[in-house]
Amino acid sequence: MHNDHWSEGQSWLCLPHAVACFAMIFWIEANVGVAWSAAPLSLGLAFMACESGFVLDAEARRGRSYTGWIWGGKLVAWGQWKAAPTAAAVQLLRTRESMMNRRGAPRSVRIDSWELQWEDEQGCWHSLHDFTDRHLAQSALTTVRQSTHC
């Protein structure tokens, strides 16, 4: 089985996990002892190194948005696999979402993203992955089109 892989770099989804691990260090040092704080420190550092991206299994015609690590050349990740039927049309949908905090940050700050989608028999579009890099999105679109029309 050969998987095509598009990495989008460090994942901010793991940041809360890392912060929780680092907070646990202080509790363990205060209540248990310094020697036991190495485990949450290691976990916190591991979560800081998390990556996110998209993996395509062309043979099974399925893709997965993932969060995880690359250890020893292997992807160790989690994320739900989504299947795209063989004859399904695929497209990229560009979205521009504004960022705004509770205090009303300016709406002029926009995030561009490109959503890779496939169309079912009823004409409904379903998401495979939401890319933040246009070149990665176009590369994935080309590969998915080639795999679904073989």
Strands (E), 39-109: 51-57, 62-71, 74-78, 81-83, 90-98
Judged against a pLDDT cut of 70, whether residue 148 lies above it is answered with no
pTM reported for the whole predicted model: 0.73
pLDDT at 28: 86
Phi and psi torsions of 44, nearest 5°: -60, -45
Most distant CA pair in the chain, distance: 60
Judged against a pLDDT cut of 80, whether residue 146 lies above it is answered with yes
pLDDT at 150: 54
Cβ proximity of 5 and 68 under 8 Å: no
**Domain boundaries defined on the chain:** 3-148
93 band by pLDDT with thresholds 50, 70 and 90? very high
